[in-house]
Each structure stands twice: as C-alpha cells, then as structure tokens.
Amino acid sequence: MNGRALSWHRLVLFGALGLFALVFLTPLYVMVSTSLKSMDEIREGTLLALPASPSLAAWIKAWSEACTGTDCGGLRPFFLNSVMMVVPAVAVSTLLGSLNGYVLSKWKFRGSELMFAMILFGVFMPMQVVLLPMSQVLGWLGLASSVWGLVLVHVLAGIPSTTLFFRNYYVGLPDELLKAAMLDGAGFWQIFWRIVLPLSTPILVVTLIWQFTQIWNDFLYGVVFSGADSKPITVGLNNLANTSSTVKEYNVDMAAAMIAALPTLFVYIVAGKYFVRGLTAGAVKG
C-alpha cells in the first residue's frame, strides 16, 4: 500500500461515512428546526431551512395546550403517566431478572435449563398473542385501564430479557468465588448481597437502560391496556399527531415528538456504551 493510493481511499471512505452521518442526522435536524419555527415560516420555507427566529412556542403548546383527540391539555399528563409507569416497572423487572439470573447460573437445579429456554421464547414471541387474554385478566384483577395494569404487563413482558441479561453475565463469574464464600459459611442470600450484587454494576446499568428504553418507547401495550387517564407518552404523541384539526401544526407535532424522544435520547447520549451492549445482548449472544 503506497501513500497516495491510501489517501485517495481514505477520501472516499470519509466521504461515504460522512454521507451516512448526514442521512442519519437529517431527520433529527428537521425535527428540531421545524419545532422552532412558526407555521407561517414552515409554509413559506423548506424542510431544511434554518429557523429565522427560533421560538419555543410550539414546545410550550405541545407540552401544555395541544389537543389529543378531544382533550386539549398537551402532552404533560401523558408524560407523567409514562414516568409513573416506567419507574416501578423497570425496578421490579430488573430485580426479578437479577434473582432469576443468579439462580439459573449459580444454583442450577434439575430442569432449570429447560425452564430458561422456555422463558427465553418470551423475548421473541409476538405480543399480539397475549393482548386479548391479558385485557381480560387485567379486568379481573381490577387493573384494567390503570397505570398499575401497565406496570404489571411491562414487568411480565420484561422478565425474559432481564433474566437473559443477568444469567449470561453471572455465568461468567468464577464459581470459585462462590465456593470460597460457602466454605466461610455464607448462604444463598449472603452470597447474593455481598458478592454477586456488588459485581453486577455493569449488567445492572445495561438492564436498567434497556428496560427503561423498552418501556418508555412501548406503544402496543400502552394503546391496548390504558384508559383515558393512564395513556403513556407514545399514545399521547400518536393521538396528537393524528388528530385531524383544521390546520395541521407540524411544528407542534415535531416539538411533541422531541418531548417524547428526549428522555431516551438523553440516556443514550450519556450511557450509549451500555445501551449498545444491551442491544447486542438482546441478540442472545451473551
């Protein structure tokens, strides 16, 4: 490889990489710039034009005044529903996943491998299969159309992936560590709290981020199981963007989309490394 050919190659390489970056960033740019424009400016200008006088009016409207269906209280109530749903659902599903993973890797019993395989199918199965029966179950439990019903569904739907994450991570912890602790008289819980959990920080972060992103971004359960007062942000955004009013306010739509996207985007930017690890772990390869 001589220098000149190399630099020519590099130029094409960087050109292609830059072009891809542009393709991926443009929709985000369009969303942000549209959300800062007025409707007049949107009508006169083009998709890519910078906002002439950026204003947060569309953001304020999307947050507190925009109409979703017949309701005109903006996205705020939906956002709060999502927060109230995400916190307990992420915490419980992560905790259960961690316990399951601990048992499935370090305290195997007869049939535990088969059970793991059968639970693993829950990662992939099309959730359409559970929608109809689950709405009946939630009705029986008195949780229909409530945030707690959504929490329950998200916990149940999340257990397969959280179990997979922790199990694959704990398999890598050396057994000698546990054996030594056992010789010292430590039992099941002491080993978990004193040894395993302190070593779990990376996988804990991966799982928390994964579950947070999944549950925050979920639409299917949100649209099927929520009632008038418990709709999550994704449902709010969809209703807002599909409300047929006389004038389509694209700036408000884009501001609303950004509001719905910001929490997960923030987590991605702060802890992208862990997010990617969760994604690749989701492809079973542990």
For the segment 8-27, give every residue that binds other proteins (CB under 8 A): 13-14, 16-17, 20-21, 23-25, 27
Per CB under 8 A, contacts with other proteins among 48-77 are: 48
User: Which position among 224, 226, 230, 274 is part of the footprint of other proteins (CB under 8 A)?
Assistant: 224
Phi and psi at residue 38, to the nearest 5°: -90, 165
Q: State yes or no: residue 268 binds other proteins (CB under 8 A).
A: yes
> Any contact of residue 234 with other proteins (CB under 8 A)?
yes
Residues 110-169 touching other proteins, rule: CB under 8 A, are 113, 115, 117-122, 124-134, 136-137, 156-157, 159-160
Distances (CA, A) of 24 to 21, 37, 256, 280: 5, 22, 20, 20
199: CB partners within 8 A, 6+ apart: 173
Work out which of 182, 194, 227, 229 binds other proteins, going by CB under 8 A.
182
Q: With contacts defined by CB under 8 A, name the span among 65-73, 142-150, 198-206, 269-277 that binds other proteins.
A: 269-277
Shortest distance, CB of residue 73 to other proteins, whole angstroms? 19
Looking at 60-68, 107-115, 140-148, 196-204, which segment touches other proteins (CB under 8 A)? Answer: 107-115
| Range 170-179 burial, b when 16+ CB lie within 10 A, else e | beebeeeebe
